[in-house]
């Protein structure tokens, strides 16, 4: 069994933590650039949540979009049922679901 110095272990842990922090900060910066902002949507847009983890957008012209993954994709309303979706309490609540899906 090889002996590893305590100094090496401390350095390795510190380097790994530093890399993690850099990756986390980079991810946060990228998310802030990617995620939509309220001004990106026309007045009258409604934000829904389906089954706790699917962020849906209903445009004023009655088109539905799924924002899972951070980009809008047309959504077929035949998958909506009265009890599997609801109006988000706020844009911030809806955006949190989008962020978690990215």
Claim to verify: residue 15 and residue 47 sit in the same structural domain:
no
Claim to verify: residue 43 and residue 28 sit in the same structural domain:
no
Nearest to 68 by CA among 39, 35, 92, 21: 35
Claim to verify: residue 51 and residue 28 sit in the same structural domain:
no
Tell me the whole-structure pTM to 2 decimals.
Answer: 0.69
Claim to verify: residue 70 and residue 82 sit in the same structural domain:
yes
Claim to verify: residue 42 and residue 83 sit in the same structural domain:
yes
Q: Give residue-wise pLDDT tens across range 34-69.
A: 799 999 999 999 999 999 999 999 999 999 999 999
Claim to verify: residue 46 and residue 92 sit in the same structural domain:
yes
> Six-digit token pair at 9?
């272990």
Give the integer Cα–Cα distance in Å for 39 and 64: 18
Claim to verify: residue 61 and residue 88 sit in the same structural domain:
yes
Claim to verify: residue 47 and residue 96 sit in the same structural domain:
yes
Burial of 75 (0-12, 13-18, 19+ CB in 10 A): buried
Number of domains into which the chain is organized: 2
Q: Which of 13-22, 27-36, 75-84 has the highest mean pLDDT?
A: 75-84
């Amino acid at each position: 069994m090889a002996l590893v110095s305590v100094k090496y272990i401390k350095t390795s842990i510190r380097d790994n933590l530093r890399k993690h922090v850099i990756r986390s900060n980079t991810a946060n910066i990228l998310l802030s650039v990617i995620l939509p902002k309220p001004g990106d949507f026309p007045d009258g847009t409604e934000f829904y949540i389906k089954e706790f983890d699917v962020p849906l957008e209903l445009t004023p012209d009655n088109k539905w979009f799924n924002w899972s993954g951070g980009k809008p994709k047309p959504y077929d309303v035949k998958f909506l049922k009265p009890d599997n979706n609801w109006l988000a309490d706020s844009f911030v609540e809806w955006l949190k679901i989008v962020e978690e899906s990215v």
